Amino acid sequence: MFAIIHRDQVHQIHSYGVRSMSDGVPVTEDTVFRVASVSKTFAGTLATILNHHEYFSWEDALTQYIPNFEFEQPALASQIQLQHIVSHSAGLVPNAYDNLIEANYTLPRVLPFFKSINPMCEPGTCYGYQNVLFNLLEPVIERTTGQSYESLVAELLFEPLGMKDSSIGLEGFFQSENIAMPHVKGRISWFQRTPTAHYYHYPAAAGVNASARDLAQWLIAHMGYRPDVISEDILADIRTPRVQTTRDLRRRYWRQYLRDAHYTAGWRKYNFDDYELFYHGGWVEGYRAMIAYVPEFSVGLVMLLNAESNVISELGAAFWADVLPRLEEEQWVPYYHAGSNDDDKNLENTAPTIPRFAPFLPQIGNSEMGEGLLNK
């Protein structure tokens, strides 16, 4: 499932494959997928909105809102600020206690385990991707607003953007009539799974469900075309680099293009062959998701899979590597009124052609994804 967005319009949206191997019903642009860690873009955006409305400050200590958060050395906990939570720069070992998420532990059960560890570095100076720690944005938001995290995301983001298929949580997923079931690959073939609650216990980190059509609207807002929902100053704050993520420079398929990488408020910011690209991926059992956009050209890409495959990463990198040079070249070509005799008239507010996605689709082979999942 993919969508290409240009400015405030969906340039292309197309579905491939089926919702599940068991029923063979085709995927549509409104089919709901788990988007896994793409959820962090929603949490980061919501937190930034609330920060600008002075519900809290980025410099506030986490312990101001969660006093029972402790490290082995108690004094260290007070050094963690909310800006460190939203940017994975608290200094902890990457993916701290994700094993307990996999064991179906809820946040209150996991929190005491932090008393057994200390940060590896001073907060704000090093990057370590988190799920449990990132999800502490949820109780902070709830305690400062008096509303549930789920209701605020719906009220401030889903509803005004017309994201009618989107929800949070396992219950929300199954309330949708048009859902994509997860698939994992065995030694020989693919197998259908049933979504589990594990990562849904951490809604700010991995709890959002959405369709490709809805995520297209999400990118339109982040490209600046919905200032009534995400204002220009809030968008600028969201895009501000907060910590360098040098590990990303070694990503397979992407490393030949990446010049620099940072994490912002819930988003990754890449220097992709000298273009500024904002990105986030998601991966949870049986699903892969990716959203990305380049502000310079107001072009965005959504990809969703109900199967675990690195093809999503390969196609994402290939798309941007092919499209961005074309856009750069066409930026210097004048655009004219159709049929105009004035060959020197350069139109304002026109844009280059966005290449179609079709050339990339043959790369998705049956050997990678399975006959039953990607037949057109």
Q: Domains along the chain?
A: 2-374 (3.40.710.10)
Rounded CA gap, 320 and 300, in Å? 10
Percentage, residues of the chain above pLDDT 90: 85
Predicted local distance difference test score (pLDDT) of residue 223: 98
Rounded CA gap, 58 and 79, in Å? 12
Predicted local distance difference test score (pLDDT) of residue 357: 52
What is the value of pTM for the model shown? 0.91
**Residue predicted with more confidence, 87 or 336:** 87
186's tokens = 């065995």
Q: Quick one: DSSP state of residue 318?
A: H
Query: Per-residue confidence at 354, pLDDT binned at 50, 70, 90?
Result: low
Sign, CA dihedral 110-113-115-117, equals negative
Rounded CA gap, 192 and 22, in Å? 8
Predicted local distance difference test score (pLDDT) of residue 68: 96
3-state helix, strand, coil in the chain (%, to 5): 40, 20, 45
Q: Kindly give, in sequence order, each residue whose CB lies less than 8 Å from that of residue 284, ignoring residues fewer than 6 positions away.
A: 34, 36, 37, 182, 199, 206
- pLDDT tens for each residue of 130-156: 999 999 999 999 999 999 999 999 999
Predicted local distance difference test score (pLDDT) of residue 329: 83
- pLDDT tens for each residue of 92-117: 999 999 999 999 999 999 999 999 99
- pLDDT tens for each residue of 261-301: 999 999 999 999 999 999 999 999 999 999 999 999 999 99
Rounded CA gap, 1 and 13, in Å? 8
Rounded CA gap, 276 and 272, in Å? 6
Largest CA distance in the chain: 75
Query: Per-residue confidence at 343, pLDDT binned at 50, 70, 90?
Result: very low
Among the ranges given (174-183, 250-259, 330-339), the one the predictor scored with the smallest mean pLDDT = 330-339
Whether residue 79 is predicted with pLDDT greater than 90 in this model: the reply is yes
Asked whether the beta carbons of 267 and 47 are under 8 A apart, the reply is no
